[in-house]
C-alpha cells in the first residue's frame, strides 16, 4: 500500500546494522512545550539480511506484563545475537502507559480501536498510523503483547485471531505454537477493522500475542510467559539460534491446552449497576446455568441481589477486576477446549 507521510520522526535508522535504542518523536505542542514531542521508546536490532519482526507492548497503557518483558529484552539483547531485524516498542501508546490507563489521557482514544489511524489526527491516531503505515510494512511478523489491564484479570495465555487469509492463519498458528504458552487460544475470525490484528492482515503480516495477566498489577507469571514466549518466537522466526551462546532459550511446556471463545454466549455482562460478588475463581470450570455471582445494591439493603448465571459451560479465563459495575460491563468470559 502507498501511505501518506507520517508526522512522527525518529533518529533511528531501521536499515543500519547494530543495536540502537532511541525514540519515535510525535510532535505535540502544549503549554509546557510549544515545539515539543512525545518521545516513544523504540529499539532496533539489525544484523544483516534476514526476517523483520515488530515486538510491541503498551497498546493499552495499563497492560503491564508485556511492557516489563520488552524493556527487559531491549537490555538483554545485542545485535550480534540475532539475524535480520527486530523492532521493539515496549510502550507504544506512551501517554497511556505513563498514566497507567487503557486509553490515552491526551485524546481519550483507545489505540487498539484506532487502526489504520490518521497521519494528521490526534496523538493516538497518529501512533496507529505510524505502526500501520511505517513499522508493519517493514516486517513479516508482529507480536502484540496484551494483558487484562485495570478492569480484567486473565489466566495468562497466548493467542491469535484468525483472519480470512488462510496462508497468514497458518503462519500465525505456527508462531503461536512456537511461543509455547501452556494455555493457547485460537480466536475465530474477527472483522473489527480498527484493531491491530486487522492492521497486520492489511500488511500481509502475521499477528500473535498474549493476554498475560491484568488486575492493574504486574503478574509475574504473565511477565515470564511474555518474555520466555518472545524468545521462543524469535527462534521460530529465524532471528535467534537455539544454540546461541548468550541468550538461553527457555524450553517450551510439555503440554499445551488449546482453547477458543466459541461465541458471544461465553461472555457474561452485568445486568444492573451495582457491586459484583463472584462465586467462582479464575481457572474454575463451570456449567451452563451455574451461578457466576450476585450484583448487590448496597444503597438499598432490603433489595435482593441480582443473580448472574453462565449461559454456557467452560473454563473461566477472564474475570472483571473492580467490584463496582455498570449495566453492560463485561464481568468475564469463558473458553472451551479445542482438539488440535
Return residues touching Ca ion (CB under 5 A): 60, 146
Closest separation in Å from C-beta 67 to Ca ion: 12
Q: In the complex with Ca ion, which residue's Cβ is closer, 127 or 235?
A: 127
Q: In the complex with Ca ion, which residue's Cβ is closer, 147 or 184?
A: 147
Closest separation in Å from C-beta 210 to Ca ion: 9
Closest separation in Å from C-beta 144 to Ca ion: 9
C-alpha cell of 156? 495468562
Q: What distances in angstroms separate CA 47 from CA 13, 148, 218, 242, one per listed residue?
A: 13, 34, 32, 17
The 10 Å Cβ neighbour count of residue 32 is 7
Contact in structure between 190 and 112 (CB atoms under 8 Å): no
Q: In the complex with Ca ion, which residue's Cβ is closer, 56 or 87?
A: 56
173 CB-side CA count, 13 A? 14
Closest separation in Å from C-beta 209 to Ca ion: 9
Closest separation in Å from C-beta 164 to Ca ion: 23
Q: In the complex with Ca ion, which residue's Cβ is closer, 83 or 146?
A: 146
The 10 Å Cβ neighbour count of residue 62 is 23
Closest CA to 89 of 230, 203, 289: 230
Q: In the complex with Ca ion, which residue's Cβ is closer, 138 or 218?
A: 218
Closest separation in Å from C-beta 302 to Ca ion: 40
Closest separation in Å from C-beta 216 to Ca ion: 13
Q: In the complex with Ca ion, which residue's Cβ is closer, 6 or 147?
A: 147
Q: In the complex with Ca ion, which residue's Cβ is closer, 123 or 148?
A: 148
Contact in structure between 79 and 20 (CB atoms under 8 Å): no
Q: In the complex with Ca ion, which residue's Cβ is closer, 52 or 219?
A: 219
Q: Give the nearest residue (CB) to Ca ion.
A: 146
Instruction: Report the distance separating Cα 126 and Cα 135, nearest Å.
Output: 13
Closest separation in Å from C-beta 59 to Ca ion: 6
Instruction: Report the distance separating Cα 267 and Cα 136, nearest Å.
Output: 31
Q: For residues 105-128, b (16+ Cβ closer than 10 Å) or e, as one string?
A: ebeebbbbebbbbebebbbbbbbb
Q: Mind giving me the DSSP string for 24-58? A: EEEE--BTTBTT-EEEEEEEEEEESSS-EEEEEE-
Amino acid at each position: 500500500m502507498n501511505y501518506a507521510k507520517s508526522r512522527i520522526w525518529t533518529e533511528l535508522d531501521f536499515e543500519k546494522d547494530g543495536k540502537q535504542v532511541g525514540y519515535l518523536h510525535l510532535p505535540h505542542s502544549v503549554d509546557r512545550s510549544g515545539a515539543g514531542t512525545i518521545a516513544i521508546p523504540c529499539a532496533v536490532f539489525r544484523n544483516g539480511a534476514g526476517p523483520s519482526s515488530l515486538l510491541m507492548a503498551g497498546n493499552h497503557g495499563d497492560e503491564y506484563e508485556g511492557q516489563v518483558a520488552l524493556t527487559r529484552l531491549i537490555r538483554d539483547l545485542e545485535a550480534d545475537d540475532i539475524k535480520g531485524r527486530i523492532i521493539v516498542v515496549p510502550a507504544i501508546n506512551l501517554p497511556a502507559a505513563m498514566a497507567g490507563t487503557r486509553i490515552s489521557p491526551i485524546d481519550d482514544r483507545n489505540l487498539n480501536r484506532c487502526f489504520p489511524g490518521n497521519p494528521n489526527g490526534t496523538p493516538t491516531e497518529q501512533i496507529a498510523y505510524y505502526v500501520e503505515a511505517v513499522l508493519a510494512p517493514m516486517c513479516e511478523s508482529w507480536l502484540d503483547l496484551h494483558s487484562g489491564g485495570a478492569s480484567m484479570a486473565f489466566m495468562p495465555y497466548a493467542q491469535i485471531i484468525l483472519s480470512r487469509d488462510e496462508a497468514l492463519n497458518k503462519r500465525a498458528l505456527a508462531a503461536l505454537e512456537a511461543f509455547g504458552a501452556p494455555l493457547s487460544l485460537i480466536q475465530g475470525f474477527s472483522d473489527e477493522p480498527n484493531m491491530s490484528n486487522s492492521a497486520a492482515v492489511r500488511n500481509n503480516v502475521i499477528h500473535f500475542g498474549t493476554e498475560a495477566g491484568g488486575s492493574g498489577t504486574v503478574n509475574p507469571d504473565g511477565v515470564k510467559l511474555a518474555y520466555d514466549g518472545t524468545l521462543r518466537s524469535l527462534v521460530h522466526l529465524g532471528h535467534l539460534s537455539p544454540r546461541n551462546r548468550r541468550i538461553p532459550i527457555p524450553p517450551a511446556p510439555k503440554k499445551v491446552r488449546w482453547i477458543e471463545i466459541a461465541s458471544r454466549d461465553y461472555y457474561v455482562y452485568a445486568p444492573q449497576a451495582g457491586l459484583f460478588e463472584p462465586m467462582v475463581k479464575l481457572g474454575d470450570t463451570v456449567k451452563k446455568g451455574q451461578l457466576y455471582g450476585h450484583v448487590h445494591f448496597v444503597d438499598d439493603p432490603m433489595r435482593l441481589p441480582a443473580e448472574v448465571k453462565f449461559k454456557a459451560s467452560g473454563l473461566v479465563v477472564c474475570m472483571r477486576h473492580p467490584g463496582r459495575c455498570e449495566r453492560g460491563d463485561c464481568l468475564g468470559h469463558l473458553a472451551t477446549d479445542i482438539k488440535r
